[in-house]
Structure formats: C-alpha cells, structure tokens
Amino acid sequence: MPYGKGVQVGVPVAVWALFCWLAFRLVNVPRFADFLVSVESELEKVTWPSRNEVTQATVVVLLTMFSLGLFLFLIDLLWTWLFSVIGFTEYKS
C-alpha cells in the first residue's frame, strides 16, 4: 500500500469531521433553520397512504413494467425475424 495507516485512517476521519462541522454550521443559519421548521410543519399535514394502498400501487407498477418488458421483447423478436427474412442482417465476408 502506498500510504501508511495514519493516512488511511486520518483522511476519512478528517473528511467526517469537516462534514459534521459543515452540517452544524448549516443548521445554525437562522434562515435554514426556519426552512426546516416549515418543512416539518408541512410534513405533519401530509396524508400518508396506507400499507394496502402502497402494496396495490407497487403491484400495478411491477405488472406494468413486466408487461412493457414482454411487449418490447416480442417487438424485438419480430424485428429480428423480419430483418433476417429480408436478408438485412446477413453477414457477408
């Protein structure tokens, strides 16, 4: 390894410390703190979907993606067959 153990441990610790310091400074800016308070109050107004609604929506998305994938696969097979029939994809040396 080109670097010693001190560099391998010291650099990540220094980056982490810098990130923590920046996060602390950012949260203590009054304008940003007011923004976070307003975000929290808006999140309390949100009507979250029930587990059943999330499950149903997930099933719809998965079925739609599977159907479109199958459709595109069949279209690809059709084009491959069509191009081979007309000789467009033949390799000529």
Q: What mean pLDDT is predicted for residues 32-51?
A: 93
Give the DSSP per-residue string, 30-83: HHHHHHHHHHHHHHHH--PPPHHHHHHHHHHHHHHHHHHHHHHHHHHHHHHHHH
What's the predicted TM-score (pTM) here?
0.52
C-alpha 39/C-alpha 43 separation (Å) is 6
User: Per-domain residue ranges for the chain?
Assistant: 1-46, 49-93
* Higher-confidence position of 89 and 11: 11
pLDDT at 64 over 90: yes
